[in-house]
Structure 1
Amino acid sequence: MDNKNKAKPSGNIWTRLELWKKILIGMILGVIVGTVMGPDAEILKPIGTLFINAIKMLIVPLVFFSLIVGITSMQDTNKMGRISLKAIILYLGTTAVAITIGLGLAALFTPGAGLNMIANNPDAIGKEAPALVQTLLNMIPQNPVGALAAGNILQIIIFAIGLGVSLALIGEKAEPAIKLFESLAEAMYKLTELVMKLAPYGVFGLMAWVAGKYGLEVLLPLIKVIAVVFLAALLHIAVFYTGMISIVARLNPIRYLKGLSNPAVVAFTTTSSSGTLPATIKASREEMGVSKGVASFVLPLGATINMDGTALYQGVCALFVAQAFNIDLATSDYITIILTATLASVGTAGVPGAGLIMLSLVLTTVGLPIEGLAIVAGIDRILDMARTTVNICGDMMVSILVAKSEGELDMDVYNSKEPAAGAPSVAEVKTA
């Protein structure tokens, strides 16, 4: 009896651990086992292959259903419609800039160079890329069903956006279809959650195989990946965001940096855009002077579709995988990565494991080996701190720009060193 009672907590400890901790443990154990077993660790690879196959299974339906739901949820008219359009354009534009910065720094610092890894299916990658014009033409699917079956992500995204907009425009007649897509999207979110529970075991199998085949030197570039992602995040916030505040809004960027300090710290520690939302709304109103109407709409929208940090991370990691497997990307591949990550950001934010899911989507789109996921999965939590912070800072920047353009930015509050007296408390924001 006593022995049984003592044994129970050990099982509970694992179940209570957060997913990122389980993945980190799986990675460490995989490295140890792979180092000890050497080439014999090949027998553990099928465990990782099953997880990779499960990830591939999610990509098409998850992006398709969630993107449609994201579009159809924005049924606003008049002023709200104008605010929605401004916010969406800014969010997508900053996302494209973010992934471009990530790609640029990864190309400059080459974190994956010298790994000389070999893909499972080398014939499926590294093919001659189509011309840029052809890439743009290929965005429109001639057969949407064929695009879904073939897993052509960019075509699927374009079709989903078109269908979502059409459903939003036809009003009441679209309600049955929208409810169906919402149900399917929720089902995919739950399936994604279930698949991500397998991540620690999949990462264990893949890392054991990688460490056994390539040795411990494969882990050294991960430090470089972390450094590049954090540098890119710093540049995006300190240069691009402050530049937008200064040049476009013609405001003092120092006030913006001071105002975002509290929500940025919350985002960095919680790695949750939704969890940071109360702090973001409070800071935007008290510190920045953004009106209640703009803050209450633009910031929750940003927590849903703004993926600047994730896009930046994808740019670095995608190029890291390409360099690790000695795959040269053409200009059209870079354009495809930017378009895919930007457009997909509307539909995949807020999904558990969104960073890894979106990275697998980007890798698949340009034909990079998805095995590269296992290498970065172990440090995903560290990278998540940087990318969530960037997301939150971007949300606040967009809320300021939209409020300024609509004449709903209190300049006295923005330029003041003290918070607005009538702004809500944290408790009020949470209950709102």
Structure 2
Amino acid sequence: MYIRGMNNWIKNYSGIFWLIGGILAGSIAGLVFGPKVEILKPVGDIFLNLLFTAVIPLVFFAIASAIAGLGNSGKLSRIMGVTSVVFLGTVLISAFLTIVAVWIFPVHEEIKAMKLTEAIDEKPFGEQLSQLFTTSEFFELLSRKNMLAMIIFSVLVGFATLKSGEKYSVFKEFLLAGNEIFKNVFILIMKLAPVGLGAYFAYQIGVFGPQLFGAYAKSLGLYYGFGLFYFLVIFSLYAFIAGGVKAVRRYWRNNIIPSATAVGTCSSIATIPANMEASRRMGIPDIIANITIPLGATLHKDGSSVSSIIKMAVVFALFGRSFNSADVILLALGMTVLVSIVEGGIPNGGYVGELLFISAYGFPPEALPPAMIIGTLVDPMATLLNATGDTVAGMLISRFTEGKNWMQNG
């Protein structure tokens, strides 16, 4: 009996062991060989590209099939209402707690601006907003850069299928089948995760590691220190509110693969498949997970909220301005919500957030490079908070839509 149980345990967790082994090997390679490990980046890119190509149909089928299968229960409106409150509430909480952390550990060190080669998109805000929610061509929906537009389209397809009734149930079955098939596609791709994520960890540590101890060390230390606190303590608190100690255990037991995927890829969108599988294991109902996880990858970003506040504090310190007046704080809280909506769920999401807050506070263009550098160097931790915050948000949403006994069927 003991041997059989041990074999089952090893079988269930073997994937995690391989993943951790690959990450450790990559991290050691990055430390030992430094920038030379950049040669491994194409290996990580192959894995990431496979995730990106699979995530678009996975999200489409997950959302469309979830809505098509609702029937006439009217449950979707309640789920979306609770989702909006949870997303907005957690983003504001993360921003406020970061402001408190900045007050306790002020960032006054002058940071020398570094020249970046990254092109900055300076399209008018109205044009950026229209491109955020819609595309002018159908094929553009297939790009991960238009994830929110694709989600809106998926919702429309789901409602259209629901409205068509049983006469066209064959299309509903098609959506359900597509959802299951692309779940299996993800499972196959994740078999490459130990190699792919290992290569990415080697690249990140080898190339960006030295900068973490340079002129940006103080602000980065604050970000990573507070980010780790938020990840371990606040997420545990959210899970406890959702379902007590049992929920906390279930959350952390199933959060390893999404966390590794988020840190390794620096992409919330690439983490969607891992989050959806983790949500199933956490007991989050499919109808909630299939809607809130893809939506959270584009709209719910606790990590971006934290980084926005710290980048604001650094820029304010650089230009000798106070970051503690009521109007500044209120605008900062509003900006973090806006940044969560407009920033993409892809690596270094276009630096839209930096452009927004610098414009809002009237800073000159010289304020942009330091904010962009910090944004690049905190990307792994920011993505970790962005992505894994979606699953714990899903637990909270389940608690407030399904009741306190939502975990009993999990």
**How far did 1:331 drift?**
1.6
Structure 1 residues 101 and 179 mapped into 2: Cα distance closer, same or farther (>3 Å)?
A: closer
Q: Residues 229 and 312 of structure 1 are in contact (CA less than 8 Å); yes or no, is this contact kept in structure 2?
A: yes
Question: Which residue number corresponds to residue 356 of structure 2?
Answer: 361
Q: Over residues 349-378 of structure 1, what are the superposed CA-to-partner deviations in whole Å (9 max), with x where a residue is unaligned? A: 336643622122112212234423312434
Question: Which residue number corresponds to residue 381 of structure 1?
Answer: 376
Amino acid across the alignment from 1:360: L
Paired with 2:131 and 2:390, the residues of 1 have a C-alpha distance of: 28
Paired with 2:133 and 2:299, the residues of 1 have a C-alpha distance of: 18
Paired with 1:351 and 1:275, the residues of 2 have a C-alpha distance of: 8
Task: Select which of 308, 332, 335 maps to 1:337.
Answer: 332
Q: Residues 302 and 395 of structure 1 are in contact (CA less than 8 Å); yes or no, is this contact kept in structure 2?
A: yes
Structure 1 residues 181 and 343 mapped into 2: Cα distance closer, same or farther (>3 Å)?
A: closer
**How far did 1:310 drift?**
0.7
Q: Residues 307 and 375 of structure 2 are in contact (CA less than 8 Å); yes or no, is this contact kept in structure 1?
A: no
Paired with 1:245 and 1:257, the residues of 2 have a C-alpha distance of: 9
Task: Select which of 170, 175, 182 maps to 2:134.
Answer: 182
Q: Over residues 310-369 of structure 1, what are the superposed CA-to-partner deviations in whole Å (9 max), with x where a residue is unaligned? A: 110010111011112211132211110111221342233336643622122112212234
* Superposition map of 1:22-421 within 5 A: 78-114=74-110, 182-183=134-135, 220-252=214-246, 253-286=248-281, 288-329=282-323, 330-350=325-345, 353-354=348-349, 356-407=351-402, 411-412=407-408
Q: Residues 111 and 222 of structure 1 are in contact (CA less than 8 Å); yes or no, is this contact kept in structure 2?
A: no
Question: Which residue number corresponds to residue 71 of structure 1?
Answer: none
Q: Residues 301 and 387 of structure 2 are in contact (CA less than 8 Å); yes or no, is this contact kept in structure 1?
A: no
**How far did 1:410 drift?**
5.8
Q: Over residues 211-270 of structure 1, what are the superposed CA-to-partner deviations in whole Å (9 max), with x where a residue is unaligned? A: xxxxxxxx9440111111111211222222221222354343233222212101110111
Question: Which residue number corresponds to residue 197 of structure 2?
Answer: none
Amino acid across the alignment from 2:352: I
Q: Residues 107 and 319 of structure 1 are in contact (CA less than 8 Å); yes or no, is this contact kept in structure 2?
A: no
Q: Residues 263 and 279 of structure 1 are in contact (CA less than 8 Å); yes or no, is this contact kept in structure 2?
A: yes
Q: Residues 343 and 350 of structure 2 are in contact (CA less than 8 Å); yes or no, is this contact kept in structure 1?
A: no
Paired with 2:105 and 2:137, the residues of 1 have a C-alpha distance of: 38
Q: Residues 110 and 323 of structure 1 are in contact (CA less than 8 Å); yes or no, is this contact kept in structure 2?
A: no
Paired with 1:272 and 1:116, the residues of 2 have a C-alpha distance of: 28
Question: Which residue number corresponds to residue 62 of structure 2?
Answer: none
Structure 1 residues 308 and 185 mapped into 2: Cα distance closer, same or farther (>3 Å)?
A: farther
**How far did 1:386 drift?**
0.3
TM-score normalised by length of structure 2: 0.56
Unaligned runs of 5+ in 1: 1-13, 22-73, 118-148, 161-177, 194-218, 415-432
Amino acid across the alignment from 1:269: G
Structure 1 moving runs of 4+ over 4 Å: 74-77, 114-117, 178-181, 184-187
Paired with 1:228 and 1:387, the residues of 2 have a C-alpha distance of: 13
Paired with 2:328 and 2:242, the residues of 1 have a C-alpha distance of: 31
Look up the SS of the partner of 2:362 in the other structure: coil
Q: Residues 110 and 320 of structure 1 are in contact (CA less than 8 Å); yes or no, is this contact kept in structure 2?
A: no
Paired with 2:222 and 2:368, the residues of 1 have a C-alpha distance of: 17
Look up the SS of the partner of 1:273 in the other structure: coil
- Identity of matched residues, %: 21
Instruction: Report the number of matched residues.
Output: 271
**How far did 1:115 drift?**
5.5
Amino acid across the alignment from 1:382: L
Structure 1 residues 311 and 355 mapped into 2: Cα distance closer, same or farther (>3 Å)?
A: farther
Structure 1 residues 404 and 250 mapped into 2: Cα distance closer, same or farther (>3 Å)?
A: same
Q: Residues 114 and 324 of structure 1 are in contact (CA less than 8 Å); yes or no, is this contact kept in structure 2?
A: yes
Question: Which residue number corresponds to residue 133 of structure 1?
Answer: none
**How far did 1:395 drift?**
0.2
Amino acid across the alignment from 1:299: I
Paired with 1:410 and 1:293, the residues of 2 have a C-alpha distance of: 13
**How far did 1:379 drift?**
4.8
Q: Over residues 143-198 of structure 1, what are the superposed CA-to-partner deviations in whole Å (9 max), with x where a residue is unaligned? A: xxxxxx9x8x8xx8xxx8xxxxxxxxxxxxxxxxx8996236999xx9x99xxxxx
Unaligned runs of 5+ in 2: 1-37, 46-66, 114-122, 147-212
Paired with 2:221 and 2:290, the residues of 1 have a C-alpha distance of: 35
Look up the SS of the partner of 1:275 in the other structure: coil
Structure 1 residues 294 and 226 mapped into 2: Cα distance closer, same or farther (>3 Å)?
A: same
Paired with 1:248 and 1:299, the residues of 2 have a C-alpha distance of: 16
**How far did 1:390 drift?**
0.2
Paired with 2:215 and 2:103, the residues of 1 have a C-alpha distance of: 14
**How far did 1:413 drift?**
6.9
For the aligned residue pairs, the C-alpha RMSD in angstroms reads 4.2
Amino acid across the alignment from 1:387: A
Look up the SS of the partner of 2:251 in the other structure: helix
Structure 1 residues 276 and 404 mapped into 2: Cα distance closer, same or farther (>3 Å)?
A: same
**How far did 1:114 drift?**
4.8
